[in-house]
Amino acid sequence: MDVEIRSIWIMLDNKVKAFFEGSDITSYRYFGAHVSKNGVDFRVYAPHAKSIALVGTFNDWDGEANPMKKDKHGIWEAHVKNAKLGDSYKYRIHQATDEIVDKMDPYAFYSELRPNTASIVADLTYNKWTDDKWMAQRNKGFDSPVNIYEMHAGSWKKETDDPQEFVKYKDIENDLIAHCKKHHFTHVEMMPLCEYPFDGSWGYQCTGYFSSTSRYGTNQELMHFVNALHKAGIGIIMDFVPVHFVKDNYALAKFDGTPLYEYTKDEDAHSEWGTYNFNLWKEEVRSFLMSAANFWIDVYHFDGLRMDAISNAIFWQGNKNNGVNEGACDFMKRMNFELNKAHDGKIMLIAEDSTDFPNVTKSTLDNGLGFDYKWDLGWMNDTLDYCKKDPIYRQWHHYDVTFSMAYFYSEKFINVFSHDEVVHGKATIVDKMWGSYEDKFSQARAVYTYMFTHPGKKLNFMGNEIGQLREWDETKSCDWFLLEYPMHDAFNHMFQDLGKLYVENDAFWKDDYNPCSFEWVNADDTQHNMFSYLRKGTKKDYLIILNFSTNPYAKQQFGVGISGEYKEVLNTQWAKYNGNLPSDTAQKCQAVRLSRNGKPFMIQCDVPSLGATVFEVEKL
């Protein structure tokens, strides 16, 4: 046997071995459609199929023209000489049930726009990457500012409300970079970009796990988009869905006539969303999903993944009473370990998990699940529930606000106001607040001050920064016209100032997960609906005071840890934020050596009603 051919054979054999062992994170290099010198090579895994034929534009969809051959592993293969880039194709599968079904390629790199469902032979080469420096320097951000802008690409900025018209990456690229810079967002998190059939699922009900959706542009246009963000110093994270997939007959469901990707038992297979749950115990499925996760990081240079619905993987059907799904947990540990290993531990792996399951962000080497961050949904729910209440009753719910710090150091949390909080009748963040139009904005400004000064990284969904009052609709653009109104323009201005305060001062992000960086001043002032705490940095400390009462309080005393002059750097009731206080009257308070709140020094200041104020002091 020729030496070169033998080496290729050994490489492919090892690739197949890794796939069946559930340790392959690059199976897309073997399966799918790959252009060669004289045609295209196709490979698909369907062990129980009776026969498979390739049908496509290259053979006028003739099921007799290009039959595939099956090897001992259940992998079908064919070389089609006249196939080329851009050709549409499907696998015509004679299933184990004797049905004949045309299926999309599970490893397709591109697909037709819905309602069409064929896979497309695509080229993943891109010779215009200029982000080597970014890729070398990127990291998990534990001791860096991480301020994430979550967005739905198709509805960020649209010219019309026509659901058949889609925004393209190239149309929003420059505006998005400018927007992120202006608001001090360090990362963009894109809602799922894998191919999906139903617009209303927002990408959370996927078909093509290796196929970038055709809605917003080509493969190369997505790469250009990522490269442009990196060139501007902005990271990009993708929402990834490793738990469930659509039941559409042309996709993964009963792929070869048997439950190849889903669980065998119906009670395990069917999800609460009307989809199928992936069988995360099965090694071939593990290799498929691990490879899909790695694909976006490897090929498209994404800086991390936010994993959706992890609660439904940890527990059977997402229900703690059903017990822990040990196989799914083992899968997540393996996936996170392998992804970190492949990318030198520089990528972000984020879990959306609403449970109290322990050690989600603990290293896999210490028997944790191996995620880097976890969304703090408890903080989000408690904070917003508190702010919905009439201030008269808040004194009896005071500790809903302080409770987050009782568990904060158990995981590495991200404070989130995500897309989930502004849809399905829940009302937007501003609209959730108690009271009149003016009261809602006053409290929202205080809430955002709390968010940006609370320990943990940050995430906000698009529209939050302008105080949008209409719930998000994936068919419509954000209501950018609101910036013509003083209240929304002022809110946006404050949001920018908070972002600047956050990213430029290490008190709010360095040693974020070290208890020494945060200290309550007074967590128990239930009578005044007031909270005060310190954030400690290398050069400056900050005193943050929140007042969720309708009463302003004059000459209030607060304990502080160090002496010096405390300067008010932000007050949410300043006129420039559409508040009721002059913007040019920042308070300056000299600390005196009088013990208050268990601290050696004390300052005295005025506290605005339904507002927040932030003081800074330079360390000597």
Active-site residue list: 308, 352
Burial class of 55 by CB neighbour count within 10 A (0 to 12, 13 to 18, 19+):
buried
CA dist., res. 217 & res. 108, Å (int): 16
User: Which residue's entry shows tokens 């023209």?
Assistant: 65
Q: Which two tokens stand for residue 225?
A: 């988009």
The number of CA neighbours under 13 Å toward the Cβ of 10 is 7
Please tell me whether residue 321 adopts helix, strand or coil conformation: helix
Torsion (CA) 492, 493, 495, 500 in degrees, nearest 10: 150
Instruction: Say if CB 446 and CB 545 are below 8 A apart.
Output: no
User: Which residue's entry shows tokens 């910036």?
Assistant: 483
Q: What are phi and psi of 296, to 5 degrees?
A: -70, -30
Q: Which two tokens stand for residue 404?
A: 């987050």
The continuous run of DSSP H or E covering 378 comes out as: helix 377-388
DSSP code at position 421: G
Mark 378-390 as b/e (b = at least 16 C-beta within 10 Å): bbbebbbebbeee
Instruction: Say if CB 275 and CB 207 are below 8 A apart.
Output: no
Q: Which two tokens stand for residue 133?
A: 């420096």
CA dist., res. 593 & res. 591, Å (int): 7
Q: What are phi and psi of 516, to 5 degrees?
A: -70, -15
CA dist list (Å): 397 to 167, 308, 414:
44, 30, 23
DSSP code at position 592: B
Cis peptide before 455 (omega within 30 of 0): no
Q: Which two tokens stand for residue 619?
A: 């360390």
Distance spanning both ends of the chain, measured CA to CA: 75
Q: Which two tokens stand for residue 238?
A: 């993708």
Amino acid (1-letter code) at residue 160: T
